[in-house]
């Protein structure tokens, strides 16, 4: 099968072995997939991953124990054991033995076929289009913030980074009615936010404020935490939403002196994200600026790293393909 792999270099593999589902797994035919900043960071050394890339996708069931063939699904990326203390304690996303689709120990979705645990599959309603379905995973990650912290209309909230995830986070948080500002570098995405009625400003205009109740770091950069500490108020909360391959020394003294809470935030609730997309509560379709067939997958990753693009979609299979 055709697959986009990273093995020290990013390349297209025309004869990648087709997956053989194990007990409890479903075989899926990938329709479309989204290129994420994590995919790009993997090609820079993040997670030391080698294999098929991709984890944001919509697919059709080819074979499964319970789901009928042809069922359209979005798929949670954490593949868990179901038996360790984390799983037993309701923290399956932190399973001691988890693998993560396209990121850690399990092949990804930039391929014609993928095998995943059937329990990870979420049926998609007809009201969600193919394009919108690609965004279920990152939108769920954005929603997770609202499950971890209580954001109210009076809350002052700054989102750092106006990239792909930052745009989703901003749209989710805007629904809380909070006093929201998004800070970013890219004029294209700042204009997107402006059209949505969300206050945005260029990073170059930023000055230390120390007045934000919450700062959400979506920069995917090593310096994001430093900037966040210049914004958050004493006893405020910084939510770290992204990771990156690089690192840089950070002075953590302000966290201690100002009694700031530092909170990691990762994957989120698929059911909530699917419901939001079905109700058209966020605009994801307007974020798509480029479509590339899987046969030009290397180009897709390069395009996704171009500031002139927002979301790049890899088209894997066409409607009705066998």
pLDDT, tens digit, 9 for 90 and up, residues 61-94: 999 999 999 999 999 999 999 999 999 999 999 9
CB of 17 closer than 8 Å to CB of 71: no
CB of 250 closer than 8 Å to CB of 275: no
User: Helices (DSSP H) in 59-183: which residue ranges?
Assistant: 85-88, 130-133, 136-148, 164-174
151 and 119 housed in the same domain: no
CB of 230 closer than 8 Å to CB of 208: yes
CB of 266 closer than 8 Å to CB of 290: no
296 and 210 housed in the same domain: no
259 and 169 housed in the same domain: yes
192 and 259 housed in the same domain: yes
pLDDT band at 318 (very low <50, low <70, confident <90, very high): low
Mode of pairing for the β-strands spanning 72-75 and 121-123 = antiparallel
Dihedral sign, Cα of residue 123, residue 268, residue 313, residue 169: positive
CATH code of the domain containing 252: 3.40.50.720
- Whole-angstrom Cα distance, residue 214 to residue 212? 5
Q: Which of 27, 30, 8, 88 is nearest to 314 (CA)?
A: 30
12 and 131 housed in the same domain: yes
Mean pLDDT, residues 148-169 taken together: 98
DSSP 8-state assignment for residue 82: S
279 part of a folded domain: no
User: What is the phi-psi region of residue 291: left when phi exceeds 0, alpha when psi lies from -120 to 50, beta otherwise?
Assistant: beta
Q: Which residues pair with 215 in a beta bridge?
A: 158, 238
291 and 247 housed in the same domain: no
320 part of a folded domain: no
Range of the domain at 66: 3-135+284-315
pLDDT band at 233 (very low <50, low <70, confident <90, very high): very high
Q: In total, how many domains does the chain have?
A: 2
pLDDT of 279 strictly over 60: yes
- Whole-angstrom Cα distance, residue 176 to residue 206? 24
86 and 101 housed in the same domain: yes
CB of 224 closer than 8 Å to CB of 200: no
Count the helices and strands in the chain (H runs, E runs): 10, 19
121 and 216 housed in the same domain: no
270 part of a folded domain: no
321 part of a folded domain: no
Mean pLDDT, residues 101-120 taken together: 99
99 part of a folded domain: yes
CATH code of the domain containing 101: 3.90.180.10
User: What is the phi-psi region of residue 216: left when phi exceeds 0, alpha when psi lies from -120 to 50, beta otherwise?
Assistant: beta
127 and 150 housed in the same domain: no
83 part of a folded domain: yes
62 and 114 housed in the same domain: yes
130 and 144 housed in the same domain: no
What pLDDT does residue 320 have?
Answer: 44
80 and 195 housed in the same domain: no
Mean pLDDT of the chain: 96
């Amino acid at each position: 099968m055709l697959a986009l792999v990273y093995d020290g270099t990013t390349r297209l593999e025309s004869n990648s072995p087709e997956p053989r589902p194990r007990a409890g797994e479903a075989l899926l035919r990938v329709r479309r997939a989204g290129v994420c900043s994590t995919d790009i960071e993997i090609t820079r050394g993040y997670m030391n991953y080698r294999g098929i890339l991709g984890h944001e996708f919509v697919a059709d069931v080819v074979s499964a124990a319970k789901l009928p063939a042809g069922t359209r699904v979005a798929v949670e990326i954490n593949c868990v054991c179901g038996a360790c203390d984390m799983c037993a304690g309701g923290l399956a996303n932190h399973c001691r033995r988890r693998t993560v689709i396209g990121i850690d120990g399990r092949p990804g979705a930039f391929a014609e076929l993928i095998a995943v645990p059937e329990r990870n599959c979420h049926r998609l309603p007809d009201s969600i289009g193919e394009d919108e379905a690609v965004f279920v995973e990152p939108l769920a990650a954005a929603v997770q913030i609202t499950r971890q912290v209580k954001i109210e209309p009076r809350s002052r909230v700054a989102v750092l980074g106006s990239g792909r995830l930052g745009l989703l986070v901003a749209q989710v948080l805007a629904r809380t009615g909070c006093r929201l500002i998004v800070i970013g570098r890219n004029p294209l995405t700042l204009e997107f936010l402006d059209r949505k009625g969300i206050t945005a400003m260029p990073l170059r205009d930023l000055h230390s404020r120390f007045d934000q109740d919450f700062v959400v770091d979506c920069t995917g950069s090593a310096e994001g935490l430093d900037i966040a500490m210049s914004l958050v108020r004493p006893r405020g909360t910084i939510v770290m939403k992204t990771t990156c391959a690089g690192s840089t020394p950070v002075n953590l003294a302000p966290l201690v002196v100002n009694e700031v809470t530092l909170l990691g935030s990762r994957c989120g609730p698929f059911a909530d994200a699917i419901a939001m997309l079905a109700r058209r509560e966020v605009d994801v379709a307007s974020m798509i600026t480029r479509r590339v067939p899987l046969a030009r997958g290397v180009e897709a990753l390069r395009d996704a790293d171009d500031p002139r693009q927002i979301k790049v979609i890899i088209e894997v299979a066409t409607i009705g393909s066998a």
